[in-house]
Structure 1
Amino acid sequence: MAAVNHGCIGIVLAGGLSSRMGSDKAQLMRDNKSMLDFSTQLLNEVGVDRVVVSGNNYHVPDIFPQQGPVGGIYSVFNQVPCQAALIIPIDLPLMDTETLTSLKQAGQVLSKAVHFDDHSLPLYLPNNAFTELFFEQKIQVHLNSTGKGPSIKAMLKQVPHQTIKCRKASALTNTNTPNQWQQVQSQIFMPTRSN
Protein backbone atom coordinates (compact mmCIF):
# COMPACT_ATOMS: atom_id res chain seq x y z
CA MET A 1 0.00 0.00 0.00
CA ALA A 2 1.39 3.42 -0.99
CA ALA A 3 2.17 5.92 1.77
CA VAL A 4 -0.30 8.76 2.18
CA ASN A 5 1.05 12.03 0.78
CA HIS A 6 -0.17 14.57 3.30
CA GLY A 7 -0.83 18.22 2.54
CA CYS A 8 0.61 20.25 5.40
CA ILE A 9 1.92 18.32 8.38
CA GLY A 10 2.97 19.76 11.73
CA ILE A 11 6.46 19.03 13.03
CA VAL A 12 7.47 19.44 16.67
CA LEU A 13 11.25 19.58 16.95
CA ALA A 14 12.01 17.70 20.17
CA GLY A 15 15.35 16.09 19.37
CA GLY A 16 17.68 18.49 21.19
CA LEU A 17 19.76 17.50 24.19
CA SER A 18 18.20 20.17 26.47
CA SER A 19 21.68 20.53 27.97
CA ARG A 20 21.23 24.14 29.11
CA MET A 21 17.81 23.36 30.61
CA GLY A 22 19.14 20.34 32.47
CA SER A 23 15.99 18.31 31.81
CA ASP A 24 13.96 17.27 28.78
CA LYS A 25 12.16 20.39 27.54
CA ALA A 26 9.42 18.24 26.02
CA GLN A 27 8.42 17.06 29.50
CA LEU A 28 8.38 20.48 31.21
CA MET A 29 4.90 21.20 32.56
CA ARG A 30 3.07 24.23 31.22
CA ASP A 31 -0.21 24.80 33.05
CA ASN A 32 -0.70 21.08 33.86
CA LYS A 33 0.25 20.01 30.34
CA SER A 34 3.67 18.89 29.07
CA MET A 35 5.33 21.09 26.46
CA LEU A 36 5.07 18.14 24.08
CA ASP A 37 1.28 17.94 24.54
CA PHE A 38 0.96 21.73 24.39
CA SER A 39 2.94 21.93 21.12
CA THR A 40 1.03 19.03 19.56
CA GLN A 41 -2.30 20.59 20.51
CA LEU A 42 -1.28 23.93 19.00
CA LEU A 43 -0.51 22.34 15.64
CA ASN A 44 -3.74 20.35 15.68
CA GLU A 45 -5.72 23.51 16.41
CA VAL A 46 -4.07 25.31 13.49
CA GLY A 47 -5.26 22.50 11.23
CA VAL A 48 -2.53 20.22 9.93
CA ASP A 49 -3.05 16.80 8.37
CA ARG A 50 -0.87 15.07 10.93
CA VAL A 51 1.49 16.02 13.76
CA VAL A 52 4.92 14.40 13.77
CA VAL A 53 7.36 14.70 16.67
CA SER A 54 11.02 14.70 15.62
CA GLY A 55 13.53 13.23 18.04
CA ASN A 56 15.05 9.91 19.00
CA ASN A 57 12.47 9.28 21.73
CA TYR A 58 9.49 10.17 19.52
CA HIS A 59 7.82 9.46 16.15
CA VAL A 60 10.78 10.07 13.85
CA PRO A 61 14.32 9.42 15.12
CA ASP A 62 17.11 11.48 13.58
CA ILE A 63 18.77 9.82 10.59
CA PHE A 64 21.94 11.74 11.51
CA PRO A 65 21.98 12.12 15.32
CA GLN A 66 22.40 15.53 16.97
CA GLN A 67 22.38 17.55 13.75
CA GLY A 68 20.05 20.29 14.97
CA PRO A 69 16.69 21.42 13.61
CA VAL A 70 17.59 20.89 9.94
CA GLY A 71 18.58 17.31 10.69
CA GLY A 72 15.20 16.75 12.34
CA ILE A 73 13.30 18.28 9.42
CA TYR A 74 15.33 16.22 6.95
CA SER A 75 14.52 13.04 8.87
CA VAL A 76 10.77 13.78 8.88
CA PHE A 77 10.67 14.69 5.18
CA ASN A 78 12.46 11.40 4.46
CA GLN A 79 9.89 9.34 6.31
CA VAL A 80 6.58 11.23 6.08
CA PRO A 81 5.49 12.18 2.54
CA CYS A 82 4.00 15.67 2.58
CA GLN A 83 3.66 18.81 0.50
CA ALA A 84 4.65 21.19 3.31
CA ALA A 85 5.29 21.39 7.03
CA LEU A 86 4.51 23.86 9.79
CA ILE A 87 7.50 23.48 12.10
CA ILE A 88 7.78 24.56 15.74
CA PRO A 89 10.50 23.98 18.32
CA ILE A 90 9.55 22.40 21.64
CA ASP A 91 10.50 25.48 23.65
CA LEU A 92 7.86 28.12 22.79
CA PRO A 93 5.54 28.11 25.84
CA LEU A 94 3.85 31.41 24.89
CA MET A 95 3.06 30.44 21.30
CA ASP A 96 -0.63 30.62 20.36
CA THR A 97 -2.92 29.32 17.64
CA GLU A 98 -3.53 32.72 16.04
CA THR A 99 0.19 33.40 15.55
CA LEU A 100 0.86 29.96 14.05
CA THR A 101 -2.22 30.22 11.82
CA SER A 102 -0.95 33.51 10.36
CA LEU A 103 2.36 31.81 9.50
CA LYS A 104 0.69 28.82 7.85
CA GLN A 105 -1.71 30.99 5.84
CA ALA A 106 1.11 33.23 4.60
CA GLY A 107 3.11 30.20 3.49
CA GLN A 108 0.16 28.71 1.65
CA VAL A 109 -0.70 31.99 -0.10
CA LEU A 110 2.91 32.74 -1.08
CA SER A 111 3.81 29.11 -1.89
CA LYS A 112 7.23 29.53 -0.30
CA ALA A 113 8.97 29.17 3.04
CA VAL A 114 7.82 31.77 5.57
CA HIS A 115 9.10 32.71 9.02
CA PHE A 116 8.76 35.68 11.34
CA ASP A 117 11.20 38.61 11.26
CA ASP A 118 14.43 37.80 13.17
CA HIS A 119 13.25 34.25 14.01
CA SER A 120 14.00 31.27 11.77
CA LEU A 121 11.59 29.12 13.82
CA PRO A 122 8.64 28.58 13.73
CA LEU A 123 8.79 27.96 10.00
CA TYR A 124 6.36 27.09 7.20
CA LEU A 125 8.40 25.00 4.76
CA PRO A 126 7.21 23.57 1.44
CA ASN A 127 8.59 20.13 0.61
CA ASN A 128 9.53 20.93 -2.98
CA ALA A 129 12.42 20.78 -5.45
CA PHE A 130 14.29 23.55 -3.58
CA THR A 131 14.23 21.77 -0.23
CA GLU A 132 15.02 18.41 -1.84
CA LEU A 133 18.04 19.89 -3.62
CA PHE A 134 19.28 21.56 -0.45
CA PHE A 135 19.03 18.33 1.54
CA GLU A 136 20.72 16.30 -1.20
CA GLN A 137 23.60 18.72 -1.59
CA LYS A 138 24.16 20.01 1.92
CA ILE A 139 23.35 17.50 4.65
CA GLN A 140 26.11 15.01 3.82
CA VAL A 141 28.60 17.76 2.87
CA HIS A 142 28.11 19.53 6.20
CA LEU A 143 28.43 16.32 8.14
CA ASN A 144 31.64 15.43 6.35
CA SER A 145 33.22 18.86 6.72
CA THR A 146 32.05 20.08 10.13
CA GLY A 147 30.54 17.09 11.90
CA LYS A 148 27.31 18.98 12.40
CA GLY A 149 24.31 19.77 10.26
CA PRO A 150 23.60 23.06 8.47
CA SER A 151 21.58 25.78 10.18
CA ILE A 152 18.07 26.84 9.20
CA LYS A 153 19.56 30.18 8.07
CA ALA A 154 21.87 28.27 5.72
CA MET A 155 18.89 26.35 4.35
CA LEU A 156 16.86 29.52 3.81
CA LYS A 157 19.68 30.98 1.71
CA GLN A 158 18.89 28.32 -0.88
CA VAL A 159 15.12 28.01 -0.45
CA PRO A 160 12.78 30.81 -1.64
CA HIS A 161 11.38 32.41 1.49
CA GLN A 162 9.78 35.48 2.96
CA THR A 163 9.55 36.96 6.44
CA ILE A 164 6.41 38.36 8.00
CA LYS A 165 5.86 40.49 11.08
CA CYS A 166 4.64 38.76 14.22
CA ARG A 167 1.75 40.70 15.77
CA LYS A 168 2.46 39.21 19.20
CA ALA A 169 6.20 39.26 19.89
CA SER A 170 5.85 37.41 23.22
CA ALA A 171 4.66 34.32 21.32
CA LEU A 172 8.22 33.88 20.05
CA THR A 173 9.78 33.76 23.54
CA ASN A 174 11.86 30.60 23.72
CA THR A 175 13.11 28.95 26.88
CA ASN A 176 16.53 27.31 26.97
CA THR A 177 17.45 27.64 30.65
CA PRO A 178 15.66 27.07 33.98
CA ASN A 179 15.76 30.84 34.58
CA GLN A 180 14.04 31.58 31.25
CA TRP A 181 11.44 28.90 32.01
CA GLN A 182 10.68 30.48 35.40
CA GLN A 183 10.31 33.91 33.81
CA VAL A 184 7.66 32.75 31.34
CA GLN A 185 5.65 30.92 33.99
CA SER A 186 4.36 34.22 35.39
CA GLN A 187 3.36 35.35 31.89
CA ILE A 188 1.35 32.19 31.28
CA PHE A 189 -0.90 32.96 34.24
CA MET A 190 -1.07 36.74 33.77
CA PRO A 191 -4.59 37.92 32.85
CA THR A 192 -4.67 39.40 29.37
CA ARG A 193 -5.53 43.08 29.28
CA SER A 194 -8.07 44.34 26.80
CA ASN A 195 -7.20 47.57 25.00
Structure 2
Amino acid sequence: MGENKAKLMRGGIDMLSFSKQLLTDVGIKDIVVSGNDYQVPDIIANGGPVAGIYSVLQHYRPAAILALPVDLPLMTASALSQLKIKGELSQKACFFQGHNIPLYLPNNGYVELFMSQAFAKNTPLAPGENPQGKKSGPSFKALLNQVPHTSVVPDKISHLFNTNTPEQWQQAKARFK
Protein backbone atom coordinates (compact mmCIF):
# COMPACT_ATOMS: atom_id res chain seq x y z
CA MET A 1 0.00 0.00 0.00
CA GLY A 2 2.89 2.34 0.69
CA GLU A 3 1.30 3.80 3.82
CA ASN A 4 -0.24 2.66 7.10
CA LYS A 5 -3.66 1.22 6.21
CA ALA A 6 -4.92 1.90 9.74
CA LYS A 7 -4.60 5.65 9.06
CA LEU A 8 -6.42 5.71 5.72
CA MET A 9 -9.58 7.83 5.97
CA ARG A 10 -13.02 6.32 5.39
CA GLY A 11 -15.55 9.08 5.52
CA GLY A 12 -14.49 11.22 8.46
CA ILE A 13 -12.64 8.52 10.42
CA ASP A 14 -9.50 6.46 9.97
CA MET A 15 -9.73 2.75 9.19
CA LEU A 16 -8.57 1.72 12.66
CA SER A 17 -11.42 3.69 14.26
CA PHE A 18 -13.86 2.34 11.65
CA SER A 19 -12.79 -1.23 12.44
CA LYS A 20 -13.04 -0.65 16.20
CA GLN A 21 -16.54 0.77 15.74
CA LEU A 22 -17.61 -2.33 13.80
CA LEU A 23 -16.39 -4.54 16.65
CA THR A 24 -18.19 -2.36 19.19
CA ASP A 25 -21.37 -2.59 17.12
CA VAL A 26 -21.30 -6.40 17.31
CA GLY A 27 -20.94 -6.33 21.08
CA ILE A 28 -17.19 -6.67 21.54
CA LYS A 29 -16.27 -4.82 24.72
CA ASP A 30 -12.55 -5.55 24.97
CA ILE A 31 -10.96 -4.40 21.72
CA VAL A 32 -7.21 -4.92 21.51
CA VAL A 33 -4.98 -3.78 18.69
CA SER A 34 -1.82 -5.77 18.10
CA GLY A 35 1.38 -4.50 16.55
CA ASN A 36 4.50 -2.73 17.72
CA ASP A 37 2.84 0.70 17.70
CA TYR A 38 -0.29 -0.47 19.51
CA GLN A 39 -1.50 -2.09 22.76
CA VAL A 40 0.10 -5.50 22.31
CA PRO A 41 3.55 -5.45 20.73
CA ASP A 42 4.49 -8.40 18.55
CA ILE A 43 6.27 -11.15 20.46
CA ILE A 44 7.64 -12.51 17.17
CA ALA A 45 9.03 -9.73 14.98
CA ASN A 46 7.70 -9.85 11.42
CA GLY A 47 5.71 -12.96 12.29
CA GLY A 48 2.64 -11.86 10.34
CA PRO A 49 -0.98 -11.66 11.45
CA VAL A 50 -1.14 -15.11 13.10
CA ALA A 51 1.81 -14.07 15.26
CA GLY A 52 -0.18 -10.96 16.19
CA ILE A 53 -3.01 -13.20 17.38
CA TYR A 54 -0.46 -15.30 19.27
CA SER A 55 0.80 -12.13 20.99
CA VAL A 56 -2.73 -11.18 22.07
CA LEU A 57 -3.40 -14.72 23.35
CA GLN A 58 -0.20 -14.64 25.37
CA HIS A 59 -0.93 -11.23 26.85
CA TYR A 60 -4.66 -11.41 27.61
CA ARG A 61 -5.77 -15.07 27.50
CA PRO A 62 -9.24 -14.24 26.14
CA ALA A 63 -11.90 -16.92 25.70
CA ALA A 64 -12.06 -16.07 21.98
CA ILE A 65 -10.82 -13.55 19.44
CA LEU A 66 -12.71 -11.88 16.64
CA ALA A 67 -9.82 -10.84 14.40
CA LEU A 68 -10.58 -8.04 11.98
CA PRO A 69 -7.96 -6.50 9.68
CA VAL A 70 -8.04 -2.76 9.01
CA ASP A 71 -8.16 -3.20 5.23
CA LEU A 72 -11.83 -4.14 4.83
CA PRO A 73 -13.54 -0.75 4.34
CA LEU A 74 -16.81 -2.28 3.10
CA MET A 75 -17.27 -4.65 6.07
CA THR A 76 -20.50 -4.30 8.05
CA ALA A 77 -21.45 -4.99 11.65
CA SER A 78 -24.20 -7.30 10.39
CA ALA A 79 -21.73 -9.50 8.52
CA LEU A 80 -19.34 -9.61 11.49
CA SER A 81 -22.20 -10.45 13.83
CA GLN A 82 -23.14 -13.40 11.62
CA LEU A 83 -19.56 -14.68 11.86
CA LYS A 84 -19.35 -14.16 15.63
CA ILE A 85 -22.64 -15.93 16.34
CA LYS A 86 -21.75 -18.93 14.16
CA GLY A 87 -18.36 -19.22 15.87
CA GLU A 88 -19.81 -18.91 19.37
CA LEU A 89 -22.48 -21.52 18.70
CA SER A 90 -20.11 -24.02 17.09
CA GLN A 91 -17.10 -23.26 19.34
CA LYS A 92 -14.96 -23.62 16.22
CA ALA A 93 -12.83 -21.22 14.27
CA CYS A 94 -15.19 -19.47 11.89
CA PHE A 95 -14.49 -17.44 8.76
CA PHE A 96 -16.24 -16.36 5.58
CA GLN A 97 -16.09 -18.89 2.77
CA GLY A 98 -13.06 -18.19 0.58
CA HIS A 99 -11.53 -15.74 3.09
CA ASN A 100 -9.49 -16.70 6.15
CA ILE A 101 -9.99 -13.35 7.87
CA PRO A 102 -12.05 -11.86 9.53
CA LEU A 103 -11.80 -14.82 11.87
CA TYR A 104 -13.62 -15.87 15.01
CA LEU A 105 -11.12 -17.97 16.95
CA PRO A 106 -11.99 -19.68 20.24
CA ASN A 107 -9.03 -19.98 22.58
CA ASN A 108 -9.13 -23.72 23.12
CA GLY A 109 -6.74 -26.66 23.29
CA TYR A 110 -6.51 -26.95 19.49
CA VAL A 111 -5.46 -23.31 19.14
CA GLU A 112 -3.04 -23.53 22.07
CA LEU A 113 -1.40 -26.64 20.60
CA PHE A 114 -1.05 -25.04 17.16
CA MET A 115 0.40 -21.83 18.59
CA SER A 116 2.85 -23.62 20.88
CA GLN A 117 4.11 -25.77 18.01
CA ALA A 118 4.17 -22.93 15.48
CA PHE A 119 6.08 -20.55 17.73
CA ALA A 120 8.17 -22.94 19.85
CA LYS A 121 11.16 -22.58 17.54
CA ASN A 122 10.62 -18.84 17.11
CA THR A 123 12.24 -16.83 19.83
CA PRO A 124 11.32 -13.20 20.26
CA LEU A 125 13.36 -10.94 18.03
CA ALA A 126 14.30 -7.39 18.70
CA PRO A 127 13.10 -4.91 16.08
CA GLY A 128 15.61 -4.84 13.24
CA GLU A 129 16.85 -8.41 13.75
CA ASN A 130 14.96 -9.46 10.64
CA PRO A 131 16.23 -6.68 8.35
CA GLN A 132 14.47 -7.99 5.27
CA GLY A 133 11.13 -7.60 7.08
CA LYS A 134 10.02 -10.97 5.76
CA LYS A 135 7.01 -12.53 7.42
CA SER A 136 8.29 -15.53 9.32
CA GLY A 137 5.17 -16.86 11.01
CA PRO A 138 2.52 -19.36 9.95
CA SER A 139 -0.37 -18.47 7.68
CA PHE A 140 -4.07 -18.48 8.50
CA LYS A 141 -4.36 -21.45 6.17
CA ALA A 142 -1.84 -23.40 8.30
CA LEU A 143 -3.75 -22.47 11.44
CA LEU A 144 -7.11 -23.49 9.99
CA ASN A 145 -5.69 -26.80 8.77
CA GLN A 146 -4.96 -27.69 12.42
CA VAL A 147 -8.05 -26.47 14.28
CA PRO A 148 -11.73 -27.41 13.97
CA HIS A 149 -13.39 -24.79 11.80
CA THR A 150 -16.47 -23.86 9.85
CA SER A 151 -17.18 -21.28 7.20
CA VAL A 152 -20.06 -18.89 6.62
CA VAL A 153 -21.36 -17.87 3.22
CA PRO A 154 -21.27 -14.06 3.23
CA ASP A 155 -24.50 -12.21 2.48
CA LYS A 156 -22.52 -9.93 0.16
CA ILE A 157 -19.07 -10.78 -1.13
CA SER A 158 -18.42 -7.03 -1.48
CA HIS A 159 -18.15 -6.79 2.33
CA LEU A 160 -14.88 -8.69 2.01
CA PHE A 161 -13.30 -6.34 -0.53
CA ASN A 162 -9.70 -6.08 0.64
CA THR A 163 -7.58 -3.00 0.01
CA ASN A 164 -3.92 -3.88 -0.32
CA THR A 165 -2.98 -1.47 -3.06
CA PRO A 166 -3.63 2.23 -3.73
CA GLU A 167 -5.79 1.21 -6.70
CA GLN A 168 -7.96 -1.05 -4.53
CA TRP A 169 -8.29 1.75 -1.96
CA GLN A 170 -9.52 4.11 -4.72
CA GLN A 171 -12.05 1.48 -5.84
CA ALA A 172 -13.30 1.11 -2.26
CA LYS A 173 -13.55 4.88 -1.80
CA ALA A 174 -15.78 5.09 -4.88
CA ARG A 175 -18.10 2.50 -3.26
CA PHE A 176 -18.50 4.18 0.11
CA LYS A 177 -18.88 7.78 -1.04
TM-score in terms of structure 2 length: 0.91
SS of residue paired to 2:33: strand
Query: How far apart, CA to CA, are the structure 1 residues paired with 2:5 and 2:113?
Result: 32
Q: 1:113–1:123: 8 Å Cα contact kept in structure 2?
A: yes
How far did 1:49 drift? 2.8
The residue aligned with 2:175 is 187
The residue aligned with 2:5 is 25
Which aligned pairs between 1:116-155 and structure 2 lie closer than 5 A? 116-141=96-121, 148-155=136-143
SS of residue paired to 2:105: strand
Query: How far apart, CA to CA, are the structure 1 residues paired with 2:150 and 2:163?
Result: 25
Which aligned pairs between 1:33-182 and structure 2 lie closer than 5 A? 33-141=13-121, 148-182=136-170
Aligned length: 167
Greater fraction of residues in strand? 1
How far did 1:36 drift? 0.5
How far did 1:90 drift? 1.0
How far did 1:147 drift? 7.2
Identity of aligned residues (%): 50
Bigger RCO (CA 8 Å, 6+ sep): 2
Query: How far apart, CA to CA, are the structure 2 residues paired with 1:159 and 1:107?
Result: 13
Q: Counterpart amino acid of 1:77?
A: L
The residue aligned with 2:127 is none
Q: 1:91–1:175: 8 Å Cα contact kept in structure 2?
A: yes
Q: Gaps spanning 5+ residues in structure 2: where?
A: 124-133
Q: Counterpart amino acid of 2:58?
A: N
Q: Counterpart amino acid of 1:183?
A: Q
When the two chains are superposed, the root-mean-square deviation of aligned CA atoms in Å is 1.4
Q: 1:142–1:150: 8 Å Cα contact kept in structure 2?
A: no
TM-score in terms of structure 1 length: 0.83
Q: 1:114–1:123: 8 Å Cα contact kept in structure 2?
A: yes
SS of residue paired to 1:89: coil
Q: Counterpart amino acid of 2:115?
A: F
